[in-house]
Chain A
Amino acid sequence: MTYSASTSDWAVEADGLVKTFGTNRAVDGIDLRVATGTVYGVLGPNGAGKTTTISMLATLLKPDAGSARIFGHDVQRESQVVRQLIGVTGQYASVDETLSATENLVLFSRLLGLSSSQAKVKAHDLLEEFHLTDAAKRPLKNFSGGMRRRLDLAASLIAQPPLIFLDEPTTGLDPRTRMQMWDTIRRLVSTGSTVLLTTQYLDEADQLADRIAVIDRGRVVAEGTSNELKASVGESSLELRLADNRDLDDVRVAIERVLGVDPTVSPEAGRITAPMNNPDRVTELLVTLREEGIHLAELSVAKPTLDEVFLTLTGRGVDDAETENTAELEGSRA
């Protein structure tokens, strides 16, 4: 089957993907375009539909509606072709726990058509590359989280697929292991791979991804480069805690007037948060507050978090989205 070169600029093209589990529309019309040779981040809270989306793109789940193509090949009609072009690493696509690291890599290499001796060489090379040689024969039960992820990733790279799906590659890893994982992913990209990764951490998408799609409740709510996204939520946010909660309204008015932005008020905590587009004007705000005789208990500047991206883009916090969707999605994957 041949395809015109024009479709090949995109590693991933998804149009209106829909997946429903029972009454829950886990993925509700997602469009994605991932350019070949780039890292694309899909950012969203638990249950936003990230894993479901990847599962459909990786031919593990059948979309209820919509279509997707990997390097121009339809995921449903040419699923076997697509499987030759992708590597999948995630919380789900894992390795066989009863086998050792070497046995796993040899098994997958053999399944991918390598001869017995080629498979051994491949397993050896990959273990070395991912610093797992010392643990090659140990049972996987004794592997740390970071070692498990590395082995998972190594297993996805046997066929050197031009597109790699990484589903939350660093969730649950300690900061040091997370950095190592990021280095590995960067190295991967330098060899010409296209990477589509999902994450709950804005920081991670920021570090790795050329473009980011923010998804929530199965929909893409924002798409762009990390700078574009951050610009939309403000580089950082200013957080004020007041000595007297009765001043909250006055402060809100002052912020709207001086900073020209719409702050978020948490009356219970006596806290008020505002996007900080222009740090210079904060001084003016503070002067205004002093002139009005309003006392602050605490003042801090917070970098944008996923929570704020969410608040800004959806008008809702991460927690709401999580409690609504997680339970049903987790259950339906079994």
Chain B
Amino acid sequence: MTTTTITPSPRPTTTIVPGVQRTLKNRVSIAETLSHTVTMAYRGLLKIKRTPEQLFDVTLQPIIFTLMFTYIFGGAIAGNVQNYLPIIIPGILVQTVITTSVVTGVQLREDMDKGVFDRFRSLPIARIAPLSGALLADTVRYLIATTLTITMGVIMGLRPAGGMGGVVAAALLVIVCSWAISWIFAFFGVIARTASSVQGISMLVLFPLTFLSNAFVPANTMPGWLQWFVNINPVSHLVTAVRDLMNNGTFGADAWISLLGAAVIVAIFAPLTVKAYMRKA
């Protein structure tokens, strides 16, 4: 038998320290909360590693959508595929990554229904850690979706005029905004009864938002009343901001509006989600 000499094997021989002799505190510090969040995010990554099939949405969707939309709409909207790429890639990027954020809510619901959540709740850890950890782990999914969409575009002939800096900035902007939006779906995830209803509600919200935007088609081809909506749609601002960054390397008003929108969403939905979550947790 192999022996480990790392510790003087405490378990079976040592007696347990009695409850009254322990130093205990009733609060979790911010440092501990961060550490718990990172550990929970690590759990999220392990789960992704264990079940790689749940990455289908962030791997296949960017590839298929990019191919499909570019070749279907390219000729009609921009004359040819080459001219359409700078318009469509930012559009698909935003649409794909935002759609990915729905998974946060769905998985959160599934997770909360599992027994392991009860164990988390019985541990002396930050109450918020399972939630914040899940949201943190999901940024990895956004990163994958972002990288694949941009790579797909480059393979098809996209040469971003904004340069490497512009592309990275655009990618970061999309990830930050999607992370903010994922709070909305996390909220649905916490309050919904089943995972499939989260999926349902979220898609109902997401479809009009991503399609009634300038992501695929310039807004000026639409009827006036629709243009009004498209122009105020935050997704349009994000798409425009990404185009500015990728194609011109400029960080303009739309980018600021997008960040402001993201901040507003987090300011509203983070407390709502946390409150609903704490009530259940």
Contacts and interface: CB of A to CB of B under 8 A. Distances in A.
Q: Do A and B come from one complex?
A: yes
B26 to A, nearest CB: 5
Contact of B122 (A5, A88, A121): A88
A198 to B, nearest CB: 15
B71 interface: no
Contacts of A78: 26
Contacts of A125: 4, 7, 9-11
B119 A129 contact: no
Interface string A144-158: 000000000001000
Interface stretch (B110-118, B253-261, B262-270): B110-118
B122 A80 contact: no
Nearest to B13: A191
A193 B9 contact: no
A111 B125 contact: yes
A107 B42 contact: yes
B39 A94 contact: no
Given A107-B43, A121-B6, A93 B119 contact: yes
Q: Is the interface of B mostly helix, strand, loop or mixed?
A: loop
B85 to A, nearest CB: 38
Interface stretch (A16-24, A97-105, A265-273, A281-289): A97-105
Contacts of B11: 125-126, 129, 191
B159 interface: no
Contact of A93 (B17, B118, B129): B118
Nearest to A74: B26
B113 A187 contact: no
A142 to B, nearest CB: 13
Contact of A94 (B32, B47, B116): B116
Contacts of A92: 115, 118
B12 A129 contact: yes
B221 interface: no
B9 A80 contact: no
Contact of A97 (B10, B116, B121): B116
B119 A95 contact: yes
Contacts of B28: 80
A124 B4 CA distance: 9
A193 B16 contact: yes
Nearest to A193: B16
A84 interface: yes
B27 A80 contact: yes
Nearest to A163: B19
A324 interface: no
A1 B25 CA distance: 8
Interface in B81-126: 113-116, 118-125
Nearest to A334: B113
Given A83-B123, A94-B119, A95-B116, A160 B19 contact: no
Nearest to B43: A107
Contacts of B123: 83, 108, 111-112
A99 B39 CA distance: 14
A86 B121 CA distance: 12
A160 B119 contact: no
Nearest to A161: B16
A312 interface: no
Given A8-B20, A84-B24, A112-B123, A99 B118 contact: no
Given A111-B39, A160-B16, A85 B24 contact: yes
B43 A99 contact: yes
B15 to A, nearest CB: 4
B36 interface: yes
B63 to A, nearest CB: 26
Nearest to A11: B19
A25 interface: no
Given A112-B123, A121-B4, 4 more contacts: A59-B122, A99-B50, A111-B123, A139-B50
Closest 3 CB pairs of A and B: A94-B115, A71-B19, A83-B124
